[in-house]
Structure 1
Amino acid sequence: MTLELASVQGVQVEDTGIDTSPLAIRGLTVSYGQKPAVFSVDMTAQPGAMTAIIGPNGAGKSTLLKAALGIVKPLSGQVTVFGAPLEQQRARIAYVPQRSSVDWDFPTRVLDVVLMGLSRELGLLGRIRARHTARAMDCLHRVGMRDFADRQIGQLSGGQQQRVFLARALAQDADLYLLDEPFAGVDAATEKAIIAVLKSLKEAGKTVITVHHDLATVTDYFDHVFLINTRKVAEGPVAQAFTAETLQSAYGGRLATAQIDQISRALG
């Protein structure tokens, strides 16, 4: 590959041609049986931004996220994280799964769940020191759950459980945060707390990608959107990619005209 030099503010910078985006997906196809769940999808996450992955039920939103993480195996495609293969960059990624996919009957304390986010730092021996506990408690404080540290995770409400899993992700101190429907089934107070934490991550220069289902809050919560219905429909800043036309393309007849009109008015 021929390397080119670009001048940036008088400094010569080597252009290697490698996409160093926080998450770059190219030609990703995933199939369950004979029908593809995601077909030949390209996606490029913007650094230091909050991106919503939106689309109708069964559109492949969660599958896209899981395939990007290697949780499900794609038929084809490539995923890079900050310009390197996924396996080399896992320490820079934090993942919050759908609450419905977690076994909440597993007997463990809230504090122990958050400490799981420090597993790479703790190593094979898993020796927990005072600084680890202090860090986990600080993460619980950030999501409003410090007073529940000794509670069994199964005793919490759905919204409280979601906050704990967000605290576990915070403990990882990652650069890229991937969340699968973090607002699904939570109360208004929990949603407000979660979005405040996610926005603080963005302000700290982190990249946040969220599978999201509430179209009414997209313009308030996110900078960028990625619309999908098995294939990519649109991608870009909210003002450009989140439009009546792209929503109609993604949702078709499943999205009421009144909803589209309401979103169009919100966008001005």
Structure 2
Amino acid sequence: MAVELARENGAPAGSTESRQHLQQSPLAIRGLTVTYGEKPAVFSVDMTVEPGRMTAIIGPNGAGKSTLLKAALGIVPPVSGRVQVFGKPLNSQRGRIAYVPQRASVDWDFPTRVIDVVMMGLYRELGLLGRITGRHRAAAKACLDRVGMGDFATRQIGQLSGGQQQRVFLARALAQGADLYLLDEPFAGVDAATEKAIIAVLKQLRADGKTVVVVHHDLATVGEYFDNVFLINTRKVAEGPVAQAFNAETLQSAYGGRLATAQVDQLATAPTSRHPQTGGAL
């Protein structure tokens, strides 16, 4: 049975205060079910993302983490359920969302320059036939500088390392100027320097009042990187602040025998650095 930790204001589910919280949530999912063939990948999942926080979606391989994110974006059609973004239907709020897909899902052989990839993030401003100006190029270059890739602007994207490619796709997301950032395993297969650079950018987004949701695989860094956590194994297992929802009981429920008891206890008791304003991880 899913565990949803009580919110700080103590508002009971279904109350007026709870409904208002749902309407204010950057991403609210209710009763979401997605199937591949006849097999459910995500079943009757509810999720409420807290504004201005960094939330990790975690669970074992095949648990539905990436599917949940793609269904929230409308990339994968759900069998049932609804998605609201900032209290409104998804289609009316797409301009407020930036998405960074898994690196493995991208065709890196496509011949295009790094700066052109980043300028794709400006498509809503430019339109299909919009003229690219020096201002647009400067904006894209500034986003590359933020992720430490400014010197690679004229390189072909396929010539970069995996970590460098991931940084470029994050720069493209930054160019969108979104309010909600959804990232699918951005740290998978990258070097330590890239991981450090990415998490620094994500923390700055949070400091700027943005909301960040990350499909994450490294349980050892959950307490260090994130404020909130959402555990899933086809069904929702638990949701809430890391200090409350990321514990031995919820980890065992999500991962079962895939994690040794000693490993669960070690992860659940790992120290966290608290965010000075939100109480979340630094």
1:79-228 to 2 correspondences below 5 Å: 79-228=83-232
CA apart distance, 1:267: 4.5
Letter in 1 for 2:165: Q
Distance (whole Å) between structure 1 residues aligned to residue 235 and residue 160 of structure 2? 37
What percentage of residue pairs aligned between the two structures are identical?
A: 81
Residue 233 (structure 1) aligned with residue 233 (structure 2): no
Gaps of 5+ in 2: 1-16, 273-282
Q: Which stretch has the larger CA shift, 84-93 or 258-267?
A: 258-267
Distance (whole Å) between structure 1 residues aligned to residue 220 and residue 19 of structure 2? 41
Distance (whole Å) between structure 1 residues aligned to residue 29 and residue 134 of structure 2? 39
The structure 2 residue matched to 1:40, chosen from 41, 44, 48, is 44
**Distance verdict in 2 for CA 1:240–1:16, change over 3 Å:** closer
Letter in 1 for 2:201: V
Which structure 1 residue ranges, 4+ long, deviate > 4 Å from structure 2? 14-18
Aligned residues: 255
For 1:56, the equivalent position in structure 2 comes to 60
Distance (whole Å) between structure 2 residues aligned to residue 206 and residue 259 of structure 1? 33
Q: Deviations over 1:63-120 (max 9, x none)?
A: 0000000000000000000010000000000000000000000000000000000000
TM-score using structure 1 length: 0.93
SS in 2 for 1:74: coil
For 2:264, the equivalent position in structure 1 comes to 260
TM-score using structure 2 length: 0.88
CA apart distance, 1:266: 1.1
Distance (whole Å) between structure 1 residues aligned to residue 59 and residue 269 of structure 2? 20
For 2:12, the equivalent position in structure 1 comes to none
| C-alpha RMSD over aligned residues | 1.4
Distance (whole Å) between structure 2 residues aligned to residue 266 and residue 56 of structure 1? 19
CA apart distance, 1:125: 1.1
